Amino acid sequence: MRKLSGARGLIVGVVAAVMAAYHVYARLTPYAADQQAGLYITLGFSLVLAFFLYPSRPGATPEHVPWTDLGLAALSLGCVGYMFVFYDYVVNRFPTAHPLSPADKLVAVLGILLVLEATRRSIGAALPIVAICFIAYAALGPWLPGALHYRGLTLEILLDQTWFTTEGVFGVPLGVAGSYVILFIVFGAYLEKSGAGQFFMRFANAIAGGSRGGPGKVSVVSSSMFGTISGSAVANVMVDGWLTIPMMKRTGFKPEAAAAIEAVASTGGQIVPPVMGAAAFVMAEFLGWSYGKLMIAAAIPALFYYGALFAAIHFNAVRSGLRGIPREELPRLGEVIRSEGHLILPLLVIFGLLLEGFTATYAAILSSVVVLYCWLLEHRAWPVVAAGAVIWVTTDGRLAGALLAAVALVGLALAAARPGGPARIRRLVLEEIPIGLRDGAQHTVPVAMACAAAGVVIGIVLQTGLALRFTSFLVDLAGQHLILALVITMIAGIVLGMGMPTTPAYIMQAALLIPAIIKLGVPPIAAHMFAFYFSCLSAVTPPVALAVYAAASIGRANLWGAGVQAVKFAAAGFIVPYFFVYSPALLFQGTWADTVTVLVTGTIGVISLAAGLEGQFLRPARWFERVLFIAAALSLIDSSIRTDLVGLALLLVGLGLQKMRPAVIAPGLPVPAPAEPGTPRL
């Protein structure tokens, strides 16, 4: 991304801030543009910023916007502006009764090409290539062999479906980017500026840093919390890894293990409520669910993912005799909570609002306001937010609005009364709020472009009937064997995720693969979550494992060694989706008794899996004990009583064999040496 400065940087910053401010305004007032016009606005801003911020080649003219890119930005405005000039014609026309004019066709061709080029610049070539392949499929249908053969689409139908309807570029994915994603990214930008990232790290160190393998466990805790700020696995690695990876290496972890732990922990940030990755918002729209309901469904699988990783790190540390960080180097939990605990307030607010059934957009905006008050008031924000919560619960209507406004004014008065308070408020209004809006919009551009390009694919899939044919093909291939269809979907999700971000990878599966799984009897939420998980896990699956690449570069680790170790640590992540497909109660699809039962057996299963893969439980495990532990974990996937009893029996046999052998005390490593020069201390 270009690092623009001076007048160029100011202009682009203003455009980005206006983009974010408009999307906030549109969610707060009924006077904003209607839904379809809002899609045009989202795409227009995103295209312009994409050509301003991303060069045609990585690293090309990093501080200069060439005339060609200015021309492409102007052409983008022209294509989107055309939709506004002829807005009534566009929204009211019937394709069969109103053929496209030559000008319509020209605008559609240019618009699609601009979307594909902006997507290539912002996220890479994989998704545009996929979109071009689908366009070719739409045009070459009559000449394709076998099951791929169909009558084909005319150029007019293709352009009409892709550009002039709401089932192409301007479809559900782009609407999600403009309605939800940008607001949560703005929230994350403010949360990051408030110092929450450092708080998460210090909090995790205070809790887990002193235990065996403490730095690895710190990575688990901090990365899961940092996922609230960033829905990107690579971004999580680059923020957390510079601190956690050197700490892990100092306490005895091999470079490959340290890099793998950080990569796997950071990847899980996309699946942890309350703020998951952008694909989760798209999923909620596809399912017709509120985001709060989806957040609840995702809670237990996320707990399994991180619980298994935590257990694997512990077993690895015990087997290797690793120590934790010396206590004198760790912050005290009470001190961290007293000085920085207020930074957890925005997460509590957003979690509470979503559970209460408020829309995700409202929760994101209100939580962003809470972040700003926390920045102004620091620990004094507790009574202000508490007073607002009491008013919220006990009153309603205009009285509640008036009382909340009064509390907000009291908060501002308290901030102004602090030493340097007026200057801090002035800085907030003139610098921090505009910068947060700017950063939020700039980080939204790749997501918005990915959603727009994915819309091209979805439009063609719907128009050609490919989804129905592909579903029938997959069902016929798998027969009535659900496990085969799941394995095919898993492989497709990993392969798609290797070449593109999680959101478009998930959208591709939603169009082609998920309907087949649902047809085989899987509940829709389980089918969508299954595809979503494997789109995320591609970040740690060789040969293209971007999160591992980032972590290995920080830890100076062997890339393939780190990749293999990452798959081992993430093994539970590959098993958990099968858990909730065969036991939908894990997604709260069933009675409370069912949910509690599978929660208990699933917890035992993921711990058993971690023990088997790491070769450590009560004692270092022999090969046949490892087989017993892994077999027990796999048996506990199925929710039936019979398989649960088999799994528990296998686990007890393995533990009994270990208990019968004398304990072997690991030699233990020496106390870590003082930190190397340049290594940050906590």
At residue 32, the 3 state secondary structure works out as coil
* pLDDT score for 523: 92
The yes-or-no verdict on residue 63 having pLDDT over 80 is: no
Distance (Å, whole) CA 435 – CA 157: 43
DSSP 587: G
* Rounded average pLDDT over 522-535: 91
- Maximum pairwise Cα distance, the chain: 84
* Rounded average pLDDT over 635-650: 85
Please answer whether residues 36 and 89 qualify as being in contact, where contact means their C-beta atoms are separated by less than 8 angstroms.
no
Distance (Å, whole) CA 383 – CA 445: 37
The yes-or-no verdict on residue 19 having pLDDT over 90 is: yes
Distance (Å, whole) CA 213 – CA 229: 25
The yes-or-no verdict on residue 231 having pLDDT over 70 is: no
* pLDDT score for 524: 93
Helices 233-250 and 255-267, axial angle in degrees (round to 10): 150
Percent of the chain with pLDDT over 70: 94
Backbone angles phi, psi at 620, to 5 degrees: -60, 130
The string of pLDDT tens digits covering residues 389-414 is 888 878 877 787 788 889 889 988 99
Higher per-residue pLDDT: 512 or 656: 656
Whether omega for the bond prior to residue 255 falls within 30 degrees of 0, making it cis, is no
Distance (Å, whole) CA 517 – CA 505: 17
* pLDDT score for 84: 94
The yes-or-no verdict on residue 103 having pLDDT over 90 is: yes
* pLDDT score for 466: 80
* pLDDT score for 228: 61
The yes-or-no verdict on residue 236 having pLDDT over 80 is: no
* pLDDT score for 433: 92
User: Residues 23-27: contacts with CB within 8 Å, 24+ apart?
Assistant: 23/178, 23/179, 23/182, 23/183, 24/183, 24/186, 24/365, 24/437, 27/179, 27/183, 27/361, 27/362, 27/365
* Rounded average pLDDT over 573-577: 85
**Exposure of 441 in the CB half-sphere (CA atoms within 13 A):** 30
The CA distances from residue 227 to 109, 175, 231, 577, 611, in Å, are: 38, 23, 6, 20, 26
Please answer whether residues 489 and 470 qualify as being in contact, where contact means their C-beta atoms are separated by less than 8 angstroms.
no
Please answer whether residues 311 and 336 qualify as being in contact, where contact means their C-beta atoms are separated by less than 8 angstroms.
no
Reported confidence tier of residue 39, pLDDT bands at 50, 70, 90: very high
Please answer whether residues 521 and 473 qualify as being in contact, where contact means their C-beta atoms are separated by less than 8 angstroms.
no
Distance (Å, whole) CA 448 – CA 461: 20
* Rounded average pLDDT over 420-448: 91
Reported confidence tier of residue 675, pLDDT bands at 50, 70, 90: very low
The yes-or-no verdict on residue 261 having pLDDT over 50 is: yes
* pLDDT score for 467: 77
Helices 559-569 and 255-267, axial angle in degrees (round to 10): 50
* Rounded average pLDDT over 521-538: 90
Distance (Å, whole) CA 172 – CA 302: 26
Question: Which of 75-89, 134-148, 186-200 is modeled with the greatest confidence?
Answer: 75-89
The yes-or-no verdict on residue 97 having pLDDT over 80 is: no
Q: Which H/E stretch holds residue 334?
A: helix 333-340
The yes-or-no verdict on residue 259 having pLDDT over 60 is: yes
User: Which residue in the block uniquely carries the two structure tokens 């020496």?
Assistant: 670
The yes-or-no verdict on residue 605 having pLDDT over 50 is: yes
* pLDDT score for 673: 47
* Rounded average pLDDT over 435-441: 92
> Taking all residues of the chain, what is their mean pLDDT, rounded to a whole number?
85
* pLDDT score for 671: 44
383: amino acid identity, one letter: P
Whether omega for the bond prior to residue 620 falls within 30 degrees of 0, making it cis, is no
Distance (Å, whole) CA 238 – CA 254: 19
Indicate if the alpha-carbon torsion angle 353, 357, 358, 363 is positive or negative. positive
The yes-or-no verdict on residue 115 having pLDDT over 90 is: yes
The string of pLDDT tens digits covering residues 301-353 is 888 888 888 888 888 888 888 877 788 878 888 888 888 888 888 888 888 88
User: Residues 518-521: contacts with CB within 8 Å, 24+ apart?
Assistant: 519/471, 519/475, 520/475, 520/478, 520/480, 520/482, 520/485, 521/482
